[in-house]
Structure 1
Amino acid sequence: MNFSMIKLNSRISNASLNIVFHVDMEKLITLLLILAPGTVSADWPVTFENPNPCALKGSSVTFRCTYNYTAEETVLNHTWHKGLLKGDIWTRVELSELSSYHSRTEYLGDLHHNCSLAIHDVQDTDAGHYYFKFDTNKYGRRSKGSVYLSVTELSARVHPQRVRAGDTVTLECRTTCQLSSVVWFKDGRPVAEPEFQAKAEDAGNYLCVVEGRESLRSYPVALDVQYPPLNVSIEVSQPGSLALGKNVSLTCSSAANPAADYTWYKGASSSSPLLQVGSGRVLPLLSVEASHTGLYLCRARNSVGENNSTEVLLTLGRTNITVTRVLLFFGLGIKVVIVMLLPLVIIWACRKRRKTAANKKVYSHDYENIHTA
């Protein structure tokens, strides 16, 4: 009984050894076939040239890709997928099933070894993992790894954003992608250098674009250049000489940042001192008279500096001058007449007074006092 059991155990052990031997041989043969020329590993059938591309929003990006298979296989079809999280499950969804990719994807590969894919007009939602899958007459194969696409935008930076004329300004174009070169524009016009000494005319909106691809651009950033009042000038509402009795206004203007405050000065002549006669952008002269004539000057001032306008001379017209002279002479004539007549009037008044007194004396002797008894 014991002898029979020993023989049985021996047979079972030999059978187990044979099974294990056959299994190991099959694994070995499979491994040799995989490593032999003309074969491919089922775990690594797809290779990505750049597994971490970066693309600017609105641009096009290409996934360079190759795939391999055994000599005995024939490729029947291929598909690209995007990894999406549906609930708590990570799934690979075919791009053809995603409406956002319709008309924006272009397969650049073939049914042999090229599996490259292009995505046009890249959007923020395109960021993520992408996978390639192909089917042969024997197997269905897919990439073990993925292509991870990063999507970014150009970001313009002006440093500092507020400067005074003469300060240094630096333009910087930021992005997480590697760019060959960028160019700058200010209000639609090219900027020669990304670093410059600020002038009044440099104020405006700046943006950067990818050289040769002007559609790829950043959002504009404003540069505020502060400077003292420039080109200060006076405008007279009534051109030419003034007319007596009319209303005239003087307006002062300048180019300044921040906005300027205005002060008005007047002098009788170029040699006379200027006196402050008003403030504000407009100086009104109501019911013009001779005293309004003279030199006027406007001073514009802000926190950066100040500047004066050129002097403006206001005069009366010829007609007004004639009328003024007539009035002046008439007034003088009246004064002369008064001065000449005044002594005569006084003499006449004095004589009349004396005559009146004499008459009173004469009349006083015509009567005697009569005393009654």
Structure 2
Amino acid sequence: MACGVFGEDWNVIYENKSICAPKGSTVNLTCTYKYPEKLTLTDTFWIMCEKQNKPEDIQSLKEYSEYKDRVEYFEDKEKKKAVLRLHNVTENDERAYCFRLVTNTEGQKWIGKEGVKLAVSALQVKAPQLVLEKQTVNLTCETTCSLTDGFIWYKNGQTLTIQSETLQLQSERSDSGHYSCAARGHEHLSSPAVNPPQNISVSISPSGVIVEGDSVTLSCSSDSNPPAEISWFKENQSSAVGSGQSFSISSFKSSHSGRFYCEAQNKHGSQRSASVSVTVKGIHYKQILLYLSCLKSEDTDNHLNGSQDIEQKKVNQS
């Protein structure tokens, strides 16, 4: 506390010196205050504590574009209690917030210097890199700061009864699914679900008849989190023939024909697709024209040769 005019005291007491909130949540920072009663309080607001040493930079949070649509102030003047409500918090909001009092007397202003330090936690599920069937597996709901209200677990969007930081599974086939967690009281703000690659499949473009010389692209799709790394294989070949979401052959030849499949892998597991057959099934229109042209040329030659034979026979007969 410090003395103001008339020997009376200024003071700001924060309900919590630090708060950890899940990313995307709404958080309330609360304080009570005291000021010399013979002064008239004209304004109160919340500021970024780091600005307090530069009077020219001290301004309400509502004056900043990144805060103005997310900040609300509430105050009970009789109880001398003030609340800063900050919506949709992100990691960029991690700092200390101080309460500011302004009176109608020149030089009689006050800042509760320590403030409330806000930390923002992004939840994520930590799982083993390799999961074997029948093996005990622990999934952990990780936070970057301490959330003491407990956790809620979800499997495929359905709430589980486990409420601890760790979820233990026996790695049965029935345990397969998408797992996510949330902090109690913030159930709508669950972590991204984690799962090994599932539902992996291959599509071919063009989807119709492939003719020699065509450009052929195979695309691999999978359901996984985090996103899977894709490798391409041709049956009867030991090493991969390509990588990435798609695999292309710019000028397809008969020698390229075969059965292809993709394999998706992330830190939670891997899965391969069914093989698809890619073969040349037709010839280009130009090749057809060339073939017809050759036939026509042969017919003409045969016709001329036939006419010459007839004429020669006539000469011999005469």
Task: Name the TM-score class by shorter chain.
Answer: 0.5 to 0.7
SS at 1:151's partner residue? Answer: strand
CA distance in 1, matches of 2:142, 2:175: 21
Match of 1:303 in 2: none
AA at the equivalent of 1:202: D
Which whole-Å CA distance do the structure 2 matches of 1:52 and 1:206 have between them? 30
Tell me: CA distance 1:77–1:89, structure 2 relative to 1, closer, same or farther (3 Å). closer
Name whichever structure is richer in helix by fraction: 1
Cα deviation 1:228-260 (Å, max 9, x = unaligned) = xxxxxxxxxxxxxxxxxxxxxxxxxxxxxxxxx
TM-score normalized by structure 2?
Answer: 0.52
SS of the counterpart of 1:118?
A: strand
For the pair 1:203 / 2:192, whether they are aligned, the reply is no
Give the secondary-structure state (helix, strand or coil) at the position aligned to 2:187: strand
Equivalent residues in 2 for 1:155-166, closer than 5 Å: 155-158=124-127, 160-166=128-134
Give 1:75 shift.
1.4
CA-CA distance at 1:128 after TM superposition? 0.9
Matched, 1:122 2:95: no
- Structure 2 counterpart of 1:97: 63
Cα distance change of structure 1 residues 73 and 93 upon mapping to structure 2, 3 Å threshold: closer
Aligned pairs for 1:145-164 (under 5 A) are 145-158=114-127, 160-164=128-132
**How much does 1:192 deviate?**
4.3
Distance 1:148 1:54 in 2: 9
The CA deviation string for residues 84-125 of structure 1, in whole angstroms up to 9 with x for no partner, is: 57xx99944421211121231121213451122111111221
Which of 65, 81, 85 aligns to 2:31? It is 65
Matches within 5 A, 1:24-63: 34=7, 39-41=8-10, 45-63=11-29
Task: Report matched runs for 1:161-240 at 5 Å.
Answer: 161-175=129-143, 176-193=145-162, 194-222=167-195
User: Match for 1:136 among 80, 93, 103?
Assistant: 103
- Paired with 2:119 and 2:50, the residues of 1 have a C-alpha distance of 15
Q: Larger relative CO (CA 8 A, sep 6+): 1 or 2?
A: 2
Give RMSD over aligned pairs.
3.0
Quote how far apart the aligned CAs of 1:210 are.
2.3
Measured at CA, do residues 46 and 211 of structure 1 come closer, stay the same or move farther in structure 2, by a change above 3 Å? closer
Distance (whole Å) between structure 2 residues aligned to residue 129 and residue 142 of structure 1: 13
Report how far residue 204 of structure 1 moved: 2.7
User: How far is the alpha carbon of 1:66 from its aligned partner?
Assistant: 0.9
Q: Normalised by the size of structure 1, how large is the TM-score?
A: 0.45
Tell me, in whole angstroms, the C-alpha distance in 2 between the residues paired with 1:71 and 1:90.
Answer: 27
Cα 1:192–1:67, aligned 2, differ >3 Å: closer, same or farther? closer
With over 3 angstroms needed to count, the CA separation of the structure-2 counterparts of 1:71 and 1:94, relative to structure 1, is: closer
Other-structure match for 1:272: none
Distance in 2 separating the partners of 1:224 and 1:192:
26
Structure 2: distance between partners of 1:222 and 1:89: 52
Q: Which amino acid aligns with 2:89?
A: V
What amino acid sits opposite 1:127 in the alignment?
E
- Aligned-pair distance for 1:196? 2.3
Residues 149, 185 of structure 2: 8 Å contact kept: no
Q: Report if aligned partners of 1:46, 1:67 keep a CA contact under 8 Å in 2.
A: yes
Q: Is the 8 A contact 1:84 1:93 kept in 2?
A: no
For residue 32 of structure 1, report the CA deviation from its aligned partner: 11
What are the equivalent positions in structure 2 for 1:288-327 lying under 5 Å apart? Answer: none
Tell me the CA shift for residue 223 of structure 1: 5.0
User: Cα distance 1:92–1:71, how it changes in 2: closer, same or farther (>3 A)?
Assistant: closer
Distance 1:218 1:117 in 2: 26
Map Cα deviations across residues 194-247 of structure 1 (whole Å, 9 max, x no partner): 21211113223211012343221112222589xxxxxxxxxxxxxxxxxxxxxx
Cα distance, 1:31–1:218 mapped onto 2, change above 3 Å: closer
Matched letter for residue 174 of structure 1: E
- Displaced runs of 4 or more, over 4 A: 30-33, 88-91
Q: Secondary structure at the match of 1:115?
A: strand
Distance 1:135 1:110 in 2: 16
Question: Between the two proteins, what is the percent identity of the paired residues?
Answer: 31
